[in-house]
Amino acid sequence: MSQASAAKQRPGSTRTLLKGVDGAGTVRRTVLPGGLRVVTETLPTVRSATFGIWVGVGSRDETPVLNGATHYLEHLLFKGTARRSALEISAALDAVGGEMNAFTAKENTCYYARVLDADLPLAIDVVCDMLTGSLIRTEDVEAERGVILEEMAMAEDDPGDVVHDLFAKVIYGSTPLGRPILGTQETVNGLTRDQIAGFFKRRYRPEQLVVAAAGNLDHRKVVQQVEAAFAEVLAKSAAAPAEVRRGRKPVRTSGQVEVLNRATEQAHLVLGVPGVPRHDERRWALGVLNAALGGGMSSRLFQEVREKRGLAYSVYSYSSSYADTGLFGVYAGCQPKRVEEVLRICREELAKVVAEGITEEELRRAIGQISGSTVLGMEDTGSLMNRIGKAELCYGSHLSVDDMLAKISGVTLEDVQQVARDVLGAYRPSLALIGPITDRRAAKLVDLLA
């Protein structure tokens, strides 16, 4: 296990964080002058490589006026640089059969490309060019505004997706974590080129970036190419490091109900509470609890809601962690007339694990499920790039697969029951619901949460 953080590493130096077998699985980190970190995992036996640049900024770092700016900027970096047009950016990767994309989350953004190992230099050149040379032109801002509004409209047509944004709003209110990643129509229509470019200049600084690559690669060559691509940026930033502040601490609520009355065929609901922060050691036990409660076809919720009673097609639980808080939720989609029954069962199952924990058999099954999915999820270079990039950005240290499996298998029945009490028992559940539900009926749902 590597606990050596980049903050303790001398700029210009390279460290081996995890040592693999015959070179496979070796993770190295180089810290460049200016604070830019380059982390790689070497896999000599594969024929592909994935290159990504992680940025420590997400929607929670926006002011209310700038809500949606991070996601807007993600779109704009694909629109052209001083060296390439938007077409040339996409054509470069298409020409070698590569895949390129990006995503924006609450606390980070990632730009990445997956290619054959021989084409890794091209992927590095294109992605680095996007991060260092994007023009962010006024005409592109205006053209992309329509695209983003269409993306928002598409998302609005999927109530199973919208209900999760509604749940975040119920738990965190008007604080940054409670606002949607895409922004709102009002904020997206109000964003100007100068606002977005200013946000880029303040936030996309070397000390906030992590370059991550995994596959059949040479760490030294990756570092050399990245250093050359960022040379001008690093020279400007070395003398003036920026203070980057996280969005204000969220206000947690409990027992809240918010209903969007829509003429949908199904009612979509999320019932849940605030969870644990990403650095909280209880996250391992909470992961096991999540698997046992609603993480698979043998889980309690799936069995009780779907298998035994046929009340829903999709029902599951999930846990999300942020820097200083988290979410734990139960989702179900059901016929509107069955909302009360589904809610009652979900409420009962949550209460049971708080009072009684889980069984030895459920513990064994949950640990096996998480362990298997953890290993299977690391079978491609894209997954590995995501793992080391996010670990470096969010934790500053890296766990080997064996270390992770040991953390999971070390969870006990007592650990699970304690985290159930600490999380599920600490708050009265809140509810987000989308469907054809009248105001009078919505008011009665509050009683089901008592």
What residues are annotated to the active site? 74
Structure tokens at 186: 């009002």
Q: What is the 8-class DSSP label of residue 59?
A: G
Residue 112 bridge partners (DSSP): 52, 101
Q: Which amino acid is at 3?
A: Q
Nearest to 217 by CA among 38, 340, 347, 88: 38
Other C-beta atoms closer than 10 Å to the C-beta of 313 total 11
Q: What are the tokens at 298?
A: 């043998």
- Give the 3-state secondary structure of residue 223: helix
Angle between helices 193-203 and 138-156 (to 10 degrees): 90
Is residue 414 within 8 A of residue 289, CB to CB? The reply is no
Sheet bearing 267-274, strands edge to edge = 257-261, 430-435, 267-274, 326-334, 312-321
Task: Give the alpha-carbon dihedral of 200, 106, 396, 52, to 10 degrees.
Answer: -60
Tokens 């509810």 correspond to what residue? Answer: 431
Helix (H, G, I), strand (E, B) or coil at 412: coil
In sequence order, what are the residues at sequence separation of 6 or more whose Cβ sits closer than 8 angstroms to the Cβ of residue 193? 136, 137, 138, 141
Asked if 308 and 315 count as a contact pair (C-beta separation under 8 A), the reply is: no
CA distances from 86 to 98, 233, 396 (A): 16, 22, 34
Write the DSSP string, 353-404.
Answer: HHHH---HHHHHHHHHHHHHHHHHTTSSHHHHHHHHHHHHHHTSSB--HHHH
What one-character-per-residue DSSP string does 71-131 give?
A: HHHHHHTTSBBSS-BHHHHHHHHHTTT-EEEEEE-SS-EEEEEEEEGGGHHHHHHHHHHHH
| Contact indicator for 209, 131 with CB cutoff of 8 Å | yes
